[in-house]
Amino acid sequence: MSQCRRLLPLGVFSKVGGMSARVLVLNQNYEPLNVCHVHRAFVLVFCGKAEVVESNGHTLHTSTRSYQCPSVIRLLYLIKRAHPMAKLTRKEIFMRDNFTCQYCGTKTHDLTLDHVVPRHRGGQHRWENLVSACKACNHRKGGRLPDEARMHLNVRPAQPRVSRYYWVHQHLQSTHDPAWLKFIPDAERKRVSA
Ligand SMILES: [Zn+2]
């Protein structure tokens, strides 16, 4: 690997910034596998571990020659990976609940996070105890259990199942190269709903 690194001095990559500095890595079977820095992508290609599938139109110049910058590379061997899990964040909970208050059914982006069993009553910070609530419902419930507040959950909260491309959909919410999209199932739909 170190020999491969010497082929391309790191300083060359300081000229490549922003979107073009990131490369989508496909598994041997063309499934999206990872996103890496363009330097890492060049190392994989020069070591014979990957091939360039798409270029981004930029060119890197060293003292001796020029290289097309990859946008998508594909590994020449198959990597096995575990099914991803959704990260427990406010945004993920709102997305799981389809931006809908789980008590009154109001659809809004002005949501709060509610611990169904309040923390001071032993409620845990986990998928099964967290729901989206509009401000009015959260205020009404206060530090009580739903039954005590005479409120009912529309759906029992649970950990969401995520697409095996979950991690790459996260990348699509920030800057990415349009050339990636055709390799990512559901990419357009995810971008619209994000
Ligand atoms: Zn509500």
Residues with CB under 5 A from ligand 1 (ion): 101, 103-104, 106, 134, 137
- The full set of domains in the chain, from first to last, is 2-82+164-193 (no CATH), 85-161 (1.10.30.50)
Distance 105 CA to ligand 1 centre (A): 6
Query: Nearest-CA neighbor of 182 among 194, 193, 168?
Result: 168
Looking at mean pLDDT, say which of 31-45, 74-88, 92-106, 157-171 comes out highest: 92-106
Q: How far is the CA of 117 from the centre of ligand 1 (A)?
A: 17
Q: For residue 173, how far is its CA from the centre of ligand 1 (angstroms)?
A: 27
Per-residue pLDDT of 23-48, as tens digits, reads: 999 999 999 988 898 889 989 998 99
Q: Which tens digit of pLDDT belongs to each residue from 104-130? A: 999 999 999 999 999 999 999 999 999
Query: Rounded to two decimals, what is the model's pTM?
Result: 0.62
Q: How far is the CA of 154 from the centre of ligand 1 (A)?
A: 11
Based on its alpha-carbon atoms, the radius of gyration of the chain, rounded to whole angstroms, reads 23
CA of 85 to the centre of ligand 1 (A): 28
- The Cα–Cα gap between 39 and 42 comes to 5
Alpha-carbon gap, residue 111 to 99, rounded angstroms: 7
* Integer Cα distance of 159 and 75 in angstroms: 32
Q: Which residue has the higher pLDDT, 12 or 120?
A: 120
Cβ density class 145-155: b for 16+ within 10 Å, e for less: ebeeeebeeee
